[in-house]
Every structure is written in structure tokens, then in C-alpha cells.
Chains A and B, each alone.
Chain A
Amino acid sequence: MITIEVNGKRVEAEKGEMLLAALRRAGIHVPTLCNLSNLMPSGACRLCVVEVEGQRNLVPSCAFPVAEGMKVQTHSRRAVRARKTIIELLLADHPDDCLYCVRNRNCQLQSLAEELGVRERRYSGARHDYKVDTSSPSIVRDPAKCILCGRCVRMCEEVQGVSAIDFVGRGSSTRVGTAFEQGLNVSSCINCGQCIMVCPTGALREQSYIKEVLDAINDPERIAVVQHAPAVSVTLAEELGLRGGTDICGQMTAALRALGFQRVFDTAFTADLTIMEEGSELAHRVATGGVLPMFTSCSPGWIKFVETFYPECLPNLSTCKSPQQMMGAIIKSYFAQREGVDPSKIFVASIMPCTAKKFEAGRPEHGHDGLSDVDAVLTTRELARMIRMRGIDIQSLVPQGADTPFGERSTAGKLFGASGGVMEAAIRTAHFLLTGREMTNLKVQEVRGLDGVKEARVRIGDLELGVAVVSGLGNARRLLEEIRAGRSDLHFIEVMTCPGGCVGGGGQPIGADLEAVAGRMKALYLIDRDEPVRVSHRNEQVQRLYREFLGKPLSDKAHHLLHTHYVKREVIA
């Protein structure tokens, strides 16, 4: 520990850390733009400048290490003025679009301008006539609103290991773009939306399908049904301005009915179904000497990542569709049959924590007889928008339950929302399927938590399995490289595209820190602790679905409806 002096007060700092970290801990707010926690500082925007005694120029606190006895002024006239000028320059060529902007009232540029008291346009720069890139089913890029902070570029490269985008050109014509500045849809982008999560402005947003969903709800010819993913009920509250880390599943269900959906199904039901299929697939691979390690397949960004960068690993991917797609498939088959309706009249919407799910729903593999399994995907953010648009006060709603036949779920299915959850659910059921007994302690501590890589050896009867749980595709890439280099002690690997899993997905509330993501995770684990049905194989409605319709796991019908295949992708990567 060393001591520095900030604004005349003593502040403790750790040797070697950057000044910004010490300031934050001491509760001193210095604004930042290019800085991303957990990544090396780039020092590009200079918004975080402060005065340090003995330094002639202002220094960027995010990239300036502390030193014993250092004297710092964070809000001197000079520092504040410099920051204000930076913002004014950023605004010089910025469109005056706030009223129409998806980030209105949740925009860092806007709040910085407000905070620094920008009240007039002092500079005005030439506008570029950039085109909005709407080519991707998941992400919309509006370069006119980009302030070149570089956060998306670093997220895509350093956290996700994808590098679909980078800075292009130089000087005043610098912009962010893909290789050869093609549309994102033909780039190596895997649609994760993590770039949106770090973008301070409206330059990146999700491709929205609210209109399609409203059209379907209002169409008397169609039956609009909706499913919601496990991670949504523990994050929606945040997006609606309520307390983070609270589960509002019952009220959300009520809100979905109020919005006009005729049925509300819980995607955790098909998460349980996924466990039945995927668990059986793993057991089959182990017993027959099939391709191992097997990778989970519920995260569509990860799937496209393997298809693009590691096509030789396609046989390692479980052939199971994701819970979203399984739900769509059984709605348009079993449910349609049961209700006696024409499947083409059913419109399946899903509420997902994820932008890649929008891409997944449009994959040509995911449909039957010319009908897509899922018709439109909305993110948590879009659902909140619809709720506000309709003036629904979610807190005043009486909690309701989901509809049969796909409303029941185990808590294992609910755990899919957190990194490690699929693994934990799979281990619980694999144990039962292979030994005929339940585990004595269902909690698998080693695969819980926010770490990007978690590994364990699991004993099931006479079998010892090596398992790994990875989130964030940069971590996945490193593990795949180990496997490429000959590592062979792993049997089953769960990969979630987004750091922390779906609770940290690209469709979730923007602006959450690690603590908030941990809170969302905790909410899921509390549900698991407190409810009675904690294993997927005890989901009665899933068992009934097998009895009445699918036969047994991996049956022909199950294969036809619930499994899929993958394609090698030729993109410029």
C-alpha cells in the first residue's frame, strides 16, 4: 500500500495500479470513455485526464500508474475544461438525434455533455455521409454516432477473440468497419452483441423486431405465442429501473399476457428437454466411442464461431438445437396438433437475453415444411420497451404462471441462464440416467461463478468425466487451441458466448458491471436452492411430451424436430 494525495485528501493506493483504479475505490468520479474494466488501458480518449503535481501536461488517469506521495487534482479548472472540450469536439460532427435515438437517456455521450455543462455548439465539423449497416439480423451499426472510443473493437478482439471489426482509414476519416467494409452479415461477426454492451452511444444497437411482433399480436388470423429464456426474468427488473438481481418471472408472464400473447411458455421447459437429449447424446458418445469432447450447442454465437474459425470441430458440437429452437419446433408440431390449429397460423416470438438468437432463428436449418421454428426474437431490452410503450406498470401486476403444456420447468433448466448452468443440469441428469440414483448433493460448486474458465473432474458411478465450462469466446479459443495441441482429458465442455453466460448476454440491460451480473447469477441460484424440482428428468410435462409424442430421447422424431446440423462458413476472417 502506498499513499497519494487527491484533492488535498490522503488516498490509499496499491503499488503498480493505475491512478483511475485508486480514484474509483476512493469514490472519486472521473469520467472515462475508452477505458474498459479488465482490459489494458488504451489511453485514447483522454477524457479521464487529471492534474498531477510536477507533470507539465494533464495525464490520463486510466493509464498513469500511482506513485508514493503523488499529488493529484481531479477536478481543477484546467482538468474539467479539458474534458469539456473533448466532449465538445466529439459533438462537433455528431448528429443531433437524441430524440430518435435508441440510447436516449442511456447514452454516455449525452450524460457527459450534461455533466460537463455543454450548453452550446462551439465547434462544428463536417459530417460524413456514412451509411447505416442494417445487413445483420442481430446488430445495427450507425457510424455517424460513433465517437471512435474503440471499446467495441477491443471487446470483439480481446474478449471475444473474433475481430470482426477494427479501425479503418485514418485522420478525420477514421471509422470502425469490417474487413473491406462489407456488411456485418458477411463478416466474421458472430452476432454476440457484446459490442453493443460496451458502446457508449447509439452507434451500435440490436436489430429490432418489435414491429413484426406487434403485427402478429394484432392479426386476428394468427395465434401469437411467446417463450422467455431463463436469464430474462432476473434482468428485466433492472431494465425497467427496478432493483437488480430480482426475479420477476410471475409479473413478466402477466405483462406478456397483457401485451396480447395468447400463450406464454417458459424456455426453461425446453432447457430441461435439451438436457434429456444432450445427456443421452453424451452417454451415447461415451458408450460408442463417438467424437469427444462434446461441446454444448445452445449458444448460437459460439456455434457460428466454430463454423467460422474451427470447422474441424463441427463433429464435436452436440447436434441438439438450442432450447429456443426446440421450443419453436414443438410449438409448431405437438402444440399445434394438440390445439388442432394449422402451424402456419402460429407466430412464435421469443424473449431472449441475446442478439445472436435473432440470427439463430433465421438459420435455414431451423424449420420444417417451410415454416421457421421461431418467427421473431426480442431482447430483454426490447421487451422492456414494449412494456413501457403499453404503459404497463409491472410492479402492480399479480404474478401469473406459464401455460401448459410447456410451462413447467425444473430449476436445473432455469440454471441455463448462468455460465455453468447447463453443465450442472447435465451432470445431475447424467448421474441419474447412468446410475439410477440422484446425486446426494446436487450443487456442483466448481462450475459456478463468474470465472471465464472452470474445470472439474466429475465421478458418475464408475465413470470419471473431465468437464470444462467456458464463457467469453476468447476463453473458448484458448481452450480449443489446447485441444488442437493434443489435450485429451476433457469429455464435455459447456461454452457460452457471453462472459458470465446469458445473464451477461448482448440483449441484456446496458451498463451493468460485474457485480450486477453476479447479482443476476445469484438470483438464479436462489431459485435453484428454494424450489423442489431441481433436476430436468423430473419435469413431468417433459416426460409426458416423450410419452405422448416424441417416444424417447434420440428417437427418430426427436432427431427430426430437436436436432440439427452445422455448416462450415466461408467469410473473410
Chain B
Amino acid sequence: MTAQIDQILRKHPEARRDSLIPILQEVQDAQGYLSREAVVKVGEFLSLPASKVYGVATFYNQFRFQPVGRYHIQLCRGTACHVKGSADVLDAVCRLLNITPGQTARDGLFSLEVVACIGACGLAPVININGEFFAGVTRDSVAEIVDSYRRKADPDGQDH
């Protein structure tokens, strides 16, 4: 982890404060999220306090501060999906998993990300789990989808 961050920073010898976002993006691409260590290290590198790096990063929806779960749910909040009720779906997912967008459930099984427009407006409202698309989801269907992944992770249902 540390070495990977160092490696990314080495690629930016001339970096100034306006390189913050691109560097954070690279770190997230490499590690899947921004760890505390990453935030502190990038901050030190650019002479920025950790609170500032964190503050700037939280301004953008794209950054997450927890590693993604085994199943990463992307929920589209584009216009078409919104019109077809994605807010309701989002509320349902948050309740089901007891997390908010950007977070990862305690057991590490699911994480949730809200994306602007996936470009699948014909399927609205749409979610994407580890690359697999689900069209026309509703409050009820999303619960079933989540359940099917739970079963996948734990076929014998011993934990239930």
C-alpha cells in the first residue's frame, strides 16, 4: 500500500496544489479508495493539511474512503433514472445495507456508489453490481437482487 502511494507520488515531481485531484484519482484507481495513510501522505507531499485534503476529496462524489465491498453497487442518479424513481431505490438500498453512498457495509460484502449517468437511460432506473446491469429496478426488486448476491456469497446460508 505504502509503496504504491510512494510510486504514484514519484510520478509527480513537479506537483503543486492544483495536482491534488489528479493525484487522488490515481491513488483511488490503484487502491480502490483513499485510505487515511493516502490522505496524509498526499497532503505531506503537497504541503497540505490532512483536513484540507479530506475536505477537498469529499467535495467530489467520486472519492471513497473505505475499500469497496465484495459486491460494489453503482446506482444511477441521472435524469432519466430520477424520473423513474431512483431516489426511492437509493433509499431502499441504504436501508437494506445500513450504509450511505460512499460507504461499505460492516461485513465488507456490499459497497454503494451513486453515479451521475451510466448511459443506460433506456433501462432506467438502473443499477450495476460488479459490471452486471439490472434494469427497471424498484424498491422490492432491489431487495431481491441484494439477497441473490448474499446467497451467492454464502450459498449454504449458514450465516442467516
Size bracket, chain B contacts: 10 to 19
Complex interface: stretch among A23-31, A65-73, A164-172: A164-172
Residues of A within 8 A of B53 (CB): 179
- Residue contact B54 to A169, C-beta cutoff 8 Å: no
B5 proximal to A (CB < 8 A) = no
Complex contacts, B39 vs chain A, CB 8 Å: 179-180, 572
Q: Considering residues B40, B50, B52, which has the most beta carbons from chain A within 10 angstroms of its beta carbon?
A: B50
Asked if residues B59 and A169 are in contact (CB atoms below 8 Å), the reply is yes
B58 in contact with A179 (CB, 8 Å): no
Asked if B51 CB lies within 8 Å of chain A CBs, one says yes
- Summed over the interface, the residue pairs from A and B with CB atoms below 8 Å come to a total of 51
Q: With an 8 A cutoff between CB atoms, is A318 at the interface?
A: no
Chain B positions within 8 Å of A, measured between CB atoms, are: 36, 39-40, 49-55, 58-59, 65
A-B contact pairs, 15 of them (CB 8 A): A163-B52, A164-B49, A164-B51, A166-B52, A166-B54, A167-B55, A168-B55, A169-B59, A177-B55, A179-B36, A180-B36, A187-B51, A188-B49, A572-B40, A573-B49
A-side contacts of B58, CB under 8 Å? 168-170
Q: A162, A166, A168: which has the most chain B beta carbons within 10 Å?
A: A166
B interface: dominant SS:
helix
Give Cα distance in the complex from A163 to B52, angstroms.
8
- Shortest CB-to-CB span from B114 to chain A, Å, is 13
Out of B49, B52, B54, name the residue touching A180 (CB < 8 Å).
Answer: B54
CB-based nearest B residue for A169: B58
Cα distance, A162 to B59, chains bound together (Å): 21
Q: Which of B36, B40, B55, B65 contacts A166 (CB 8 A)?
A: B55
Output the least CB separation between A136 and chain B (Å): 15
Checking A163, A177, A180, A573 against B65 with a beta-carbon cut-off of 8 angstroms, the contacting residue is A180
CB distance from A168 to the nearest CB of B (A): 5
Q: Which of B36, B40, B49 contacts A163 (CB 8 A)?
A: B49
Q: How far is the CA of A542 from the CA of B28 in the complex (A)?
A: 61
Interchain CB contact under 8 A, B59 and A573: no
Q: Could you tell me if B59 and A166 are in contact, using CB atoms closer than 8 angstroms?
A: no
Residues of chain A from 66 to 98 with CB closer than 8 A to chain B in the complex = none
CB neighbours of A167 from chain B (8 A): 55, 59
CB distance from A553 to the nearest CB of B (A): 40
Q: Which residue of A lies closest to B52 (CB)?
A: A166
- Residues of chain A within 8 A of B40, CB atoms compared: 179, 572-573
Supplied contacts A169-B59, A181-B54, 8 more A-B pairs, CB within 8 Å: A166-B52, A177-B51, A179-B50, A179-B53, A180-B36, A188-B51, A573-B40, A573-B49
B148 shortest CB reach to chain A, Å: 32
Instruction: Say whether A14 faces chain B, with CB atoms less than 8 Å apart.
Output: no
Q: Are A179 and B51 in contact (CB under 8 A)?
A: yes
Q: Which of A165, A169, A170 contacts B51 (CB 8 A)?
A: A165
Contact yes or no, B54 A168, CB < 8 A: yes
Distance, CA A187 to CA B55, complexed state (A): 14
B55 touches A157 (CB 8 A): no
- The chain A residue with its CB closest to the CB of B50 is A179
Residue interface bits A558-573, CB-to-B below 8 A is 1, else 0 = 0000000000000011
